[in-house]
Amino acid sequence: GQNIDQPTEMTATEGAIVQINCTYQTSGFNGLFWYQQHAGEAPTFLSYNVLDGLEEKGRFSSFLSRSKGYSYLLLKELQMKDSASYLCAYPYNFNKFYFGSGTKLNVKP
């Protein structure tokens, strides 16, 4: 089967660091994506990992461990505008993207 699990909601303080975890189970792995979705808006692409390790992109980094079926998104120097839902997803057979339910991040002053 295809399963993705993420925490439902997290709260962090402006300027802090937060880690959002994602675990998945799939019989066919073709990489893992992270998307950001602000309330009432469409999801937008953040990162893609296909190999193990950390991919850094400015304030955002994404980590993948294929053997553990585990990924996380690391957000540094949190800003109020980072308040959004963060969705992890993977493409099954390259085409059928499965999304987690998303982690709603609340950034407080």
Partner 1 sequence: GAGVSQSPSNKVTEKGKDVELRCDPISGHTALYWYRQRLGQGLEFLIYFQGNSAPDKSGLPSDRFSAERTGESVSTLTIQRTQQEDSAVYLCASSTQTGPGEKLFFGSGTQLSVL
Candidates 14-22, 27-35, 63-71, 72-80 — which segment interacts with partner 1 by CB under 8 A? 27-35
Binding-site size for partner 1 (CB under 8 A) equals: 23
Query: Residue from 11, 19, 30, 65 that binds partner 1 (CB under 8 A)?
Result: 30
Query: Residue from 62, 102, 105, 107 that binds partner 1 (CB under 8 A)?
Result: 102
Site residues for partner 1, 33-92, by CB under 8 A, read 33, 35, 41-45, 48, 50, 87, 89, 91
* DSSP letter string, 1-66: --EEE--SEEEEETT--EEEEEEEE-SS---EEEEEE-TTS--EEEEEE-SSEEEEETTEEEEEET
Q: How far is the CB of 44 from partner 1 (least distance, A)?
A: 7
Q: How far is the CB of 15 from partner 1 (least distance, A)?
A: 28
Two tokens at 97?
């993207």
| Whether the Cβ atoms of residue 48 and residue 92 lie closer than 8 Å to each other | no
Q: Is 95 in the site for partner 1 (CB under 8 A)?
A: yes
Residues in CB range of 87: below 8 A, 6 or more apart? 6, 34, 35, 36, 37, 43, 99, 100, 102, 103
Residues found near partner 1 in the complex (CB under 8 A):
30-31, 33, 35, 41-45, 48, 50, 87, 89, 91, 94-102
